[in-house]
Amino acid sequence: MEGALTARDKVGVQDFVLLDAHTSETAFVDNLRKRFRENLIYTYIGTLLVSVNPYQELGIYTLKQMELYQRVNFFELPPHVYAIADNAYRMMCSELNNHFILISGESGAGKTEASKKILQYFAAICPMTESLQIARDRLLLSIPVLEAFGNAKTLRNDNSSRFGKYMDIQFDFQGVPVGGQIISYLIEKSRVVYQNQGERNFHIFYQLLEGGEEELLAYLGLERDPQLYKYLSQGHWAKEASINDKNDWKTVYTAFSVIDFTEADLENLFGIIASVLHLGNICFKEDSQGWATIPSTHEIKWIAKLLGFQPSILLEALTHRKIEAKTEEVLCPLTLDLSLYARDAMAKAVYGRTFTWLVNKINSSLVNKDFTRKTVIGLLDIYGFEVFDKNGFEQFCINYCNEKLQQLLIERTLKAEQAEYEMEGIEWEPIQYFNNKIICDLVEERHKGIISILDEECIRPGPATDLSFLEKLEEKVGKHAHFQTRKLAGPKGRKRIGWMEFRLLHYAGEVTYCTEGFLEKNNDLLYRHLKEVLCRSRNSILSECFLVAELENRRRPPTVGTQFKNSLSSLLEILISKEPSYIRCIKPNEGKEPSKFDDFLIRHQVKYLGLMEHLRVRRAGFAYRRKYEHFLQRYKSLCPDTWPHWHGPPAQGVARLIQYIGYGREEYKLGKTKIFIRFPKTLFATEDALEFSKHQLVARIQATYKSCLGRRAYVKKRQAAVTLEAHWRGALARKETRRRKWAVQIIRKLISGFINRNKPLSPDDKEFIVLVRRNYILNLRHHVPKDVLDKSWLRPPAILENASDLLRKMCTRNLVRKYCSEITAERKAQMQQKVVTSEVFRGKKDGYAQSLNQPFADSRIDEEAINPKVLQLICNEKIQYGIPVIKYDRKGFKARQRQLLLTRNSAYVVELAKVKQKIEYSALKGVSTSNLSDGILVIHVFPEDKQKGDAILQCEHIFEVVTKLVMLVKKENIVRVVQGSLQFYISPGKEGTIVFHTGPEEQIYKDKNGQLTVVSARIKS
Ligand SMILES: Nc1ncnc2c1ncn2[C@@H]1O[C@H](COP(=O)(O)OP(=O)(O)O)[C@@H](O)[C@H]1O
Ligand SMILES: [Mg+2]
C-alpha cells in the first residue's frame, strides 16, 4: 500500500481515506477510474474493500499471489480480496473470535466471484490435514451444486445468484477448516415459472437436458431440447458462450458424489426437476362452463410417476379447490386463470422447498461432528441495493435487507473507531453520521411498519388489493419523513410517482416501488388441496419438504415478508456477534465489457452502496493511522536521528521524526501504538519528501551495494588465490617429496653400491657406477698430468681401472704427441741418438744416468783441427763425427794422443797427418765397453782382416762416441758391455785382456800380468 503512495498520480490512492476531497463523489469516481484504467480493481476505504468487476482475467488470483498475501501486514501490499481474507483469518487464529465478510453489490458486480476467491484462498493457505481435505472439497464443491440450483442467466449476469447466501466456514483451534454451514435467503422462485426476455431459468434444468445420460432422460420422460419446455422457452435467450451446460453438469454430478448424495437422493431430486418441467407443459382448456380442464394427461402421468402419487389426484388438485364447509369439504372447480396460478404455485413451491432441502442436505454433509470449540468466518454474498425502472416486492425486500446491513456496518465501524481511539488513548471526537434506524423502523416496526401493514392487508377479510394496501400505507405511515406517494408528494414530486407507487428515501437514495403484486407475492399462496397432494408424495425429498404436520396446523403460515424479516433478524444476530470485514462490489458497465467504465452507472452504485457515507465516517477522525514501527520503517530516512536505524522504542523514533519534519500540532496525534494523521496532505508532503530523499538514498545504497559487490569479488579472488596457492604449494611439496623419495632411493642404491663395490657388478648398482664414474672423471679433470714426464695419475676406483688405464694411455699419447709436435729437428736427432744410447747402455753402464742430461755434440773436433792430409787420405769422405781419444797400444799399452774420426763407412784413428788405423764398418766385429764409469772403448775387428787388430781407445763422452758409431755402423747388437774384463785381439792367435774394477781414484796401468787394468772412481749414487 505504502509503495503505491509514491505512484499516486498515476494510479490514484489505494485508500479513499487519503483522498483530499473526501466528500466529493466526483473525486471518488475519478480515483476509481484512474485505478480501473490501470487494471487496479481494488481500493480500500480504511479496511473496507471496494472492488470493480474487471470482466476479464487479470492474473491476480494465482497461487503465488495467495502466498504473497499470506501473513503480511494488511497495509503492506496493494489492496486485494486476499488481504481481507488473510486479515480475517489471522485475527481469527490469534484472537480465537468469529468473523464475517460481507460482500454486497449489484447483480453482476462480482460478489459471488469474490466469495469464491476467498474460499479458494482458505483452501490453499490453511494448514492441511486429511479431514481438512474432505471438508475442503465439500466446501468447494457445494458451490457448483448451489449455483446450479440457485443461479441463472439474467440480463446483467450470466451466472446471477438468485438467492442470498450466508456461508459459515468453521475452523478448529489450529486454523484448519473442518466444516461449514450455509443459510440461503429468499430464492427467486418466480423464475421457475417465468423469465424475462433474454433470461434463463435456473441452470440445473438446462444442465440436466444437455448433460444427462439418455437413460436418465428416458427415465424422467424428458427430451433433450429445452425449447420443448414452456418453463424454459419463454425467455427466448440466445446461447451464451460463457455457459457450458454440458461441462457444468459433469462438475455438478461429480460434486454430488463428494457431498454425500445417494443414488436414491439423485433419482428423487431429478424426478422433482423433471416434474417441474412437465408441470409447465400441462395445457389447460376452458370447458363450456368456464372451468379449467386438462385435455392431455401425458404430463400428469409423468409427474405422478416421478413424484409418487395417483395421476387422478393431481389432476383434480390442479383443477379444483377444496372448500371446507361446516362439516364436509366441497370440491369447487377452478377457472382457467386460477388453475394456471395453482400450477405455477405448485412448481414454485416444489422448487423452492427442494432448494431449501438441498441446502440442508449440503449442510448435513458439511457439518462437523466433533463438538470441540470452533471459530468461524462467515461469508455473506447478498444482493446489494437494487434500483430498477420498476421496483417490486423483491426489490423492497432486498433494499430493506441492505438498509439493515448498512445499519450494522455503521454501528460496527463507529464502534471500531471508538474502540481504537480508546485503546490508543486518544480523545474521542464525535462523528456526525446519518443513522438509518429510522428507515429500518419504517419498514419493520411491529404493527406500524410497512411489512406489518402488508401482512394485515393480506389477512384482512374482504377484498384486499395492492391499491388498498397503498392507501393503508398512506394512512399509517404517510407522515414519515422517508415515505412518499403521489398523493402525499407535493405538486412538484407528483409527476415522478405513479398511482400505484410509493417511494422510500433510503440512506442510499430514493427508490420508488410499485405495489402491484405485493399482496400476492407476500402471500405466496399454495392451495391447500395441492399441499395435501404433495404431502402424500412418495418422493422422499418432497415428503421431507411437505410435512403433514403443516396441514394439521390450521394457523396461517407466516407471509413472505415476515419470513424474510425474521430470517434477516436472525442473520443480524449471527453477524452482530462476529467481527466484520466488508467488500463492496461495483459493476463498471451494463454490457459485461472489460475496460469500460460507465461513469453514470458507477456513480449510481457508489451512492447506493453507501460508500460516500462510509468514507465520511472513516474520515471524520483521522485520514491515516499506522503502527509506529511501520511508519518509522517507511519514513526513517527523512531524519538523520532515525536513519539508518533507530535503536530506541519506535514511538519515540516517530516523535523525533515528525518533530524533525515539522508536523503542526493539529496535524497528528500520537496514540499508544499508532500515529494518527489528520489530513492526507500531511501524509503526502511526507511522501513527497521521501520521494525526494530517495535519490540520495539510492546513490548511497548503490554505493554500498557496489562496494559490497567489489568486496565480494575481492574475497572471491582472494579465496581463489589462496586455493591456487595451496594447490601450487601442494604440487611443489609433492614434487619435492617425489624428488626426495627418488633421492633416498638413489642414495640407498649408492650406499648399497658402495657396500658392494668390490663384488661383481650388478644392474642394481648402476646408479652407483654412474656416480663413481662421473665423480672420477670430473675429479680427474683437475689431475690430468701437464707434461710427458709427469707420471702422476689419479688413483681410480676398482671398477674404473680399465677405463683409467685407457685414459691414462690416451693422455700420455696425447702429451707425447703434443711434445713431439713441439720438438725441433735438431732436438729430434738428439733424442734419436739418446734413444740409441738408452737401448745400448741403460742399466748396464755406470754414469749412464748422468749422461742423459748432457746433450750430444755434432762433433768434438772442428774441421780445422783435422789435418788436411788426413782429410785428403779419407778422400774427402764427409767426416760425420770426430773426437780426441787416447789410444793404448795392444802390446805395451802405451797411451798415445789420437783423433777418432767417423765417416759414413769407416772409422779412422788419426795421428796428426797420418791415418794410423782405418776400420771399415763392414770389417767391424763389435764394440766393447765396461760396465763401470771408465771411458775405455774397444773396437773389435775381424782377425782375418789385414787390420792391425782391435783398437783400444779411451775418451770422454764415451756414450756419445759409442752412440755415433752404432748409428753409423747400422748393425744391431754390436755393442757389448762387459763386467770384470774383456778379451781383445792383438794379432792372429794372440789376445790381450783388459781388467776393470773400481778404486778410490781413476787409474790406467799395465799390471804385473801384462793386462791393462782400468780403475774407475766409484760413483756416488
Ligand atoms: N474478480 C473478477 N475477475 C474477473 N472477472 C470477474 C471478477 N468478478 C466477477 N467477474 C465476472 O463477472 C461475472 C459476474 O460476477 P458474479 O460474482 O457472479 O456477480 P454477482 O454475484 O455480484 O452477481 C462473473 O461471471 C465473471 O465473469
Ligand atoms: Mg452472485
CA dihedral 300, 304, 310, 311 (to 10 degrees): 10
The model's pLDDT over 794-843, given as tens digits with 9 standing for 90+, comes to 999 888 888 899 999 999 999 888 888 888 888 888 888 999 999 999 98
pLDDT at 555 (0 to 100): 80
β-pairing, 320-324 vs 164-171, is unpaired
Residue nearest to atom 11 of ligand 1 (CA): 55
Give the nearest ligand 1 atom to 158 CA: 25
**Ligand 1 contact, 943 CB (< 6 A):** no
Mean of pLDDT over the chain: 89
- Convert the pLDDT of each residue in 220-230 to its tens digit: 999 999 999 99
At 471-529, the pLDDT tens digits run 999 999 989 999 999 888 877 777 788 889 999 998 878 899 999 989 989 988 888 88
Span from the CA of 109 to the centroid of ligand 1 (angstroms): 6
Indicate the residue type of 412.
Answer: R
What pLDDT is recorded for position 205? 96
Measured CA to CA, the distance from residue 429 to residue 421 in angstroms comes to 9
Q: 157 CB less than 6 Å from ligand 1?
A: yes
Q: What per-residue confidence (pLDDT) applies to 272?
A: 96
Helices (H), 842-937: 848-851, 868-873
- Per-residue pLDDT, averaged over 212-240, amounts to 90
Contact 241, 592 (CB under 8 A): no
In sequence order, what DSSP letters do the residues of 401-429 get, joined into one string?
HHHHHHHHHHHHHHHHHHHHHHHHT----
Spacing of C-alpha 734 from chain mean position: 39
Distance, CA 445 to ligand 2 centroid (Å)?
30
What is the mean predicted confidence (pLDDT) over 777-782?
Answer: 91
The reported pLDDT for the residue numbered 773 is: 87
Backbone phi, psi, residue 486, to 5°? -60, -40
DSSP character at residue 202: B
pLDDT band with cut points at 50, 70 and 90 for residue 1007: confident
State the pTM of this model.
0.67
Sheet order of strands, 509-514 included: 483-485, 501-506, 509-514
150 lines ligand 1 (CB under 6 A): no
Question: 523 in ligand 1 pocket by Cβ < 6 Å?
Answer: no
- pLDDT score for 295: 92
pLDDT, one tens digit per residue, over 660-688 is 999 998 889 999 999 998 887 888 888 88
What atom of ligand 1 comes closest to residue 57's alpha carbon? 4
Residues 930-968 have pLDDT tens digits of 999 899 999 998 876 566 788 999 999 999 999 999 999
H-assigned helices in 609-649: 611-619, 628-635
In this structure, the dihedral spanned by the alpha carbons of residues 834, 838, 841 and 845, taken in order and rounded to 10 degrees, is 80
Number of DSSP helices (H) and strands (E) in the chain, helices first: 37, 31
Phi, psi (deg, nearest 5) at residue 730: -60, -45
- pLDDT of the residue at 1019: 66
Q: Which atom of ligand 1 is nearest to the CA of 585?
A: 22
pLDDT of residue 947: 63
What confidence category does residue 644 fall into, taking pLDDT thresholds of 50, 70 and 90? Answer: confident
Rounded to the nearest 5°, which phi and psi values hold at 29?
-65, -35
Report the alpha-carbon distance of residue 106 to residue 92 in Å, rounded.
Answer: 29
The Cα 623–Cα 19 span in angstroms is 9
Ligand nearest to the CA of 158: 1
- Tell the residue nearest (CA) to atom 14 of ligand 1: 108
The terminus-to-terminus CA distance of the chain in angstroms comes to 132
Residue 719 backbone dihedrals phi, psi, to 5 degrees:
-60, -40
Residue 298: Cβ-neighbour burial (10 angstroms; 0-12, 13-18, 19+): middle
Could you tell me if the CB of 109 is within 6 A of ligand 1?
A: yes
The CA–CA distances, whole Å, from 141 to 248, 366, 385, 979 equal 12, 11, 29, 153
431-435, 678-682, 968-972, 995-999: which is most confident: 995-999
Cell triple for residue 189?
A: 422462485
Q: Are 64 and 146 in contact (CB under 8 A)?
A: no
Residue 170 pLDDT grade (very low, low, confident, very high; cuts 50, 70, 90): very high
pLDDT for the residue numbered 7 = 57
pLDDT in tens, 829-885: 888 899 999 999 998 999 898 888 888 998 999 888 888 888 888 877 888 999 999
Q: HSE of 979 in the Cβ direction (CA atoms, 13 Å)?
A: 5
Give, in degrees to the nearest 5, the angle at Cα 137 between 132 and 138: 100
Residues 6+ apart with CB under 8 A from 350: 272, 275, 276, 279, 534, 542, 545
| Ligand 1 and 54: CB distance under 6 A | yes
Mutation pick for ligand 1 pocket among 42, 65, 157 (CB with most ligand atoms within 8 Å): 157
Ligand closest to the CA atom of residue 162: 2
pLDDT, position 2: 54
Percent of the chain having pLDDT more than 90? 49
Q: Is 833 in the pocket of ligand 1 (CB under 6 A)?
A: no
Give 129 or 992, the one with higher predicted confidence: 992
**The one-letter amino acid at 388:** F
Tell me, what DSSP letter sits at residue 640?
T
Which residue has the least CA distance to atom 5 on ligand 1? 55
Query: Could you write out the DSSP letters of every residue in 152-189?
Result: E--SS-TTEE-SEEEEEEEE-TTS-EEEEEEEEE---T
pLDDT digits (tens, 9 = 90+) for 279-327: 999 999 999 998 999 999 999 999 999 999 899 999 999 999 888 777 7
Contact 504, 475 (CB under 8 A): no
Tell me if 449 CB under 6 Å of ligand 1: no
3-state class (DSSP) for residue 1003:
strand
* Long-range contacts of 543-546, Cβ-Cβ distance < 8 Å, separation of 24 or more: 544/357, 545/350, 545/353, 545/354, 545/356, 545/357, 546/353
- Give 861's DSSP letter: S
The x, y and z cell numbers of residue 3, run together, are: 509503495
Say yes or no: CB of residue 160 within 6 Å of ligand 1: yes
Q: If you average pLDDT over residues 346-375, what whole number do you get? A: 92
CB 575 within 8 A of CB 41: no
* The pLDDT of residue 263 is above 80: yes
What are the residues facing 886 on neighbouring strands? 897, 954
Q: Are 234 and 226 in contact (CB under 8 A)?
A: no
CA dihedral (628, 630, 634, 640) positive or negative: positive
Q: Residue 644: is the preceding peptide bond cis (ω within 30°)?
A: yes
- How much is the pLDDT for 183? 93
**Per-position DSSP letters for 68-107, written without gaps between them:** HHTT--TTTS---HHHHHHHHHHHHHHH---EEEEEEEST
CA atoms of 844 and 569, how far apart (whole Å): 165
Element (H, E) at 254: helix 245-258
Beta bridge partners of 978: 930
**Does the C-beta of 219 come closer than 6 Å to ligand 1?**
no
Question: How much distance in Å is there from the Cα of 568 to the middle of ligand 1?
Answer: 25
Instruction: Indicate which residue's Cα is closest to atom 1 of ligand 1.
Output: 53
* 115 within ligand 1 shell (Cβ under 6 A): no
pLDDT in tens, 912-939: 888 888 888 888 889 999 999 899 999 9
- 585 strand-pairing partners: 51, 105
Point out the ligand 1 atom lying closest to the alpha carbon of residue 51: 1
- What distance in angstroms lies between residue 599's CA and the mean position of ligand 1's atoms? 19
Of the bound ligands, which one is closest to the alpha carbon of residue 154?
A: 1
Confidence label for 442 from pLDDT (cuts 50, 70 and 90): very high
Q: Confidence class of residue 462 from pLDDT cuts 50, 70 and 90?
A: confident
Q: How far is the CA of 161 from the centre of ligand 2 (A)?
A: 4
Per-residue confidence (pLDDT) for residue 691, from 0 to 100: 82
Task: For residue range 552-593, list pLDDT tens digits in order.
Answer: 877 888 899 999 999 999 999 999 989 899 999 999 998 889
Cell 435467503 belongs to which residue?
Answer: 185
Ligand 1 pocket, residue 110 CB under 6 Å: yes
Q: How many residues does the chain have?
A: 1021
C-alpha of residue 837 to centroid of ligand 1, in Å: 145
Residue 529, pLDDT score: 87
Question: How would residue 255 be classed by pLDDT, with cut points 50, 70 and 90?
Answer: very high
Report the nearest atom of ligand 1 relative to the CA of 106.
22
Percent of the chain at pLDDT exceeding 70? 98
pLDDT in tens, 40-87: 999 999 889 999 999 999 999 999 999 999 988 777 789 999 999 999
Is residue 927 within 6 Å of ligand 1 at its C-beta? no
CA–CA gap between residue 624 and residue 668 (Å, rounded) = 9
pLDDT at position 725, please?
94
DSSP state of 891: S
**Gap between the Cα atoms of 429 and 420, Å rounded:** 12
pLDDT at 1021 over 60: no
The CA 112 to ligand 2 mean position distance, Å, reads 4
Q: Is the CB of 512 under 6 A from ligand 1?
A: no
Q: How far is the CA of 68 from the centre of ligand 1 (A)?
A: 23
Ligand 2 (single-atom ion) residues, CB below 5 Å: 111-112, 161
pLDDT for residue 626 is more than 90: no
**What are the grid coordinates assigned to 710, written together?**
567489489
Cα separation, 915 vs 809, in Å, equals 52
The preferred substitution site among 36, 41, 49, 53 for testing ligand 1, maximizing ligand atoms within 8 Å of CB, is 53
